Amino acid sequence: MKPRDDGRTGASNGQAAQTAVSRAMHVAAAAPGLAALERFETADGWSLVQTAYSSENAAQDETLFALANGSLGVRGALEEAPSPSDGCFHADAFEQSPIPYHERFTGYADRTDTRVGVARGHAVDILIDGKPLAAYGARIAEFSRTLDLRAGLLLRRTLWQLTDGRRVEVEAERLVSFERPSTLALRFRVRLVDFSGHVSLRSGLRAAAAAAEASSDPRINARKSSGLPIVHVARAEAASGLVQSVRDGAALVGVAQAHRVGNSVVVETDGAADVFSADLSPGGAIDLEKFVAYVVEEGAAQQDVLSQACALAGSAQREGFQALAKAQHAAFAHFWDAAQLDIADEPALAFAIRFNLFHIFQSTGRVPGHSTAAKGLTGEGYEGHYFWDTEAYILPVLALTAPELARTMLRYRIEKLDRARAHARGMGHRTGALFPWRTIAGDECSAHYPTGSAQYHINAAIAFALELYVDASGDTSLLDQGGAELLFETARIWLQVGHFNPARGGGFTIHEVTGPDEYTGLVNNNCYTNKMARRHLRQASNLARQWAQTRPQAFASLASRIGLSHEEVETWRRAADAMVIPTRPRAG
């Protein structure tokens, strides 16, 4: 979800649909592309089906089969088999730490944000006569796993064979609810195929392991800790849970679980875990429904956070898995009504696009303060940061398929406008706003200026997304709710980073910036940057002129508040018209 392309140009108003569709194709072909899906079956065009378990590809498969709802992400690991790459991630659960420099300079990023794993709620250990499966040398004899794109469900069947030949069948269904943000639900069934025994299911909340080691690969984050510390454990009447501390205690993560089981099952407690047991004969089974809720709050008491999580888990338990699954199917049906597509004679490509649309839809933030991270909520990649790719690649797709999500993404940028202003001042700009290259909380998190803050085209990508959303949705109210202010404040930066160059016949040139390819840093007149700056300046001057004529009071109020003059607006137009666009004569 973080492709690079140095050949993009902005769309005019009449090109919104065509641009969004072409970018949808580009995003779908990015990661995972067709090659990553070749190991799987896609018989009905709507399900990713795995028929053989691969320990070699387990980590990648956990990503491909991950579920999310914009607030909570759960990797696709097996409930009963611990995995070192398993994890759950919450959009509000991120650490902040200072960035060390041997020599610090004005404008350098002070700290970085890093999304970290929260307690894993999908863990269910299986014990046969008091011993875990591993004690019997269990191996997978049969395996099937299905990601249903229409229903938003992960389904699995695993046949475990013990060393003495006895077999245990596991059937599991999982969803991360759209109806109930930050809620995970699963239905879990264990059957003794050909023997009698005492079966126990130990359902708990498993603390996250250490973050991935630091690496020269920018997709891998730096080590943050051995996992979020558990600071409180408690049990309510129908739920149990724990509290974890994040950002040195500035925020707390409450995680709670509740269950549904049959009347013949014996229920016991083991700390924050619940144990469900039954004596089974050959062919007998034990069924469990599990509901896990996550709450992240700043400045709240431990008991209050845990009480909220317990209440949410208990409410989901009373609703039941089947009702949540029905609501999940309805949510995806609504999305696919707007995102349906078919490609004649290219079923594999059509499925790849649907698959990527599925992950984009489920990974996008649905509540204020969130956008879409480079790796969604599927893992630690890129530290959970939001990049300009969100507006340039992902938002155009959502503007046509799920405009309410595109609006949420733009609201995130509007809410972070003051942080962008602060970043601009740190970079030496007296007015305007400059959005960071990578961030969660709104401040620049890149310690490498040439490939970070020097990418001034970020501002233009956000302006492009704003115009495309308004054009595609017809929703002009966002301009009144901070969109116009964002557009004007970001446009102001171009007159400070560029200049009318006498050496280029008075042409407007932009020096010492980095284009979107990120490999050629600090260049003069990057073609993409200059084209996007020209588009941005025209967009801002057009809206300013329009508002001055049709909404003079609203424009005068905004201009007065940010100190925007008529002369500055007119200079935007002159700079856009005089923008130098470098070309290679032989290439046209």
On the question of pLDDT at 18 being above 60, the answer is no
C-alpha to C-alpha distance for 472 and 463, rounded to whole angstroms: 14
C-alpha to C-alpha distance for 310 and 257, rounded to whole angstroms: 7
For the domain made up of 13-224+259-292, give the CATH fold. Answer: Beta-galactosidase; Chain A, domain 5 (2.70.98)
CB atoms within 10 A of CB 321: 21
Q: Each residue of 90-115: b (16+ CB within 10 Å) or e?
A: bbbbbbbeeeeeeeeeebbbeebbbb
At a CB cut-off of 8 Å and minimum separation 6, what does 527 contact?
A: 6, 515, 581, 582, 583
On the question of pLDDT at 26 being above 50, the answer is no
pLDDT tens profile 336-373: 999 988 898 999 999 999 999 999 999 999 888 899 99
Stretch 433-451: mean pLDDT: 95
pLDDT tens profile 542-565: 999 999 999 999 999 999 999 999
C-alpha to C-alpha distance for 574 and 335, rounded to whole angstroms: 43
pLDDT > 70 in the chain, percent? 91
Q: What SS3 state is found at 78?
A: coil
Alpha helices, DSSP H only, in 416-476?
Answer: 417-426, 457-473
What length does the chain have? Answer: 588
Asked about 103 being catalytic, the answer comes back as: no
pLDDT at 361: 96
> Any idea which of 28-37, 42-51, 541-550, 559-568 has the lowest mean pLDDT?
28-37
Burial label, 502 (beta-carbon count in 10 A; 0-12, 13-18, 19+): exposed
With bands split at pLDDT 50, 70 and 90, how would you rate the model's confidence at 475?
Answer: very high
C-alpha to C-alpha distance for 413 and 458, rounded to whole angstroms: 11
pLDDT at 5: 32
Q: Is cis: bond before 32, omega within 30 of 0?
A: yes
With bands split at pLDDT 50, 70 and 90, how would you rate the model's confidence at 517?
Answer: confident
pLDDT at 13: 36
pLDDT tens profile 477-498: 999 999 999 999 999 999 999 9
Burial label, 341 (beta-carbon count in 10 A; 0-12, 13-18, 19+): middle
Find out whether 328 and 177 touch, Cβ atoms under 8 Å.
yes
Give the global pTM: 0.91
Stretch 127-143: mean pLDDT: 96
Domain range summary for the chain, segments of one domain joined by +: 13-224+259-292, 386-587
Domain range 386-587, its CATH number among 1.10.10.10, 1.10.760.10, 1.20.1630.10, 1.50.10.10:
1.50.10.10
Q: Of 518, 567, 568, 570, which residue is the catalytic one?
A: 518
pLDDT tens profile 233-276: 988 777 899 999 998 888 999 999 999 998 778 888 877 789 99
Greatest Cα pair distance in the chain: 90
C-alpha to C-alpha distance for 307 and 325, rounded to whole angstroms: 25
At a CB cut-off of 8 Å and minimum separation 6, what does 523 contact?
A: 512, 513, 514, 515
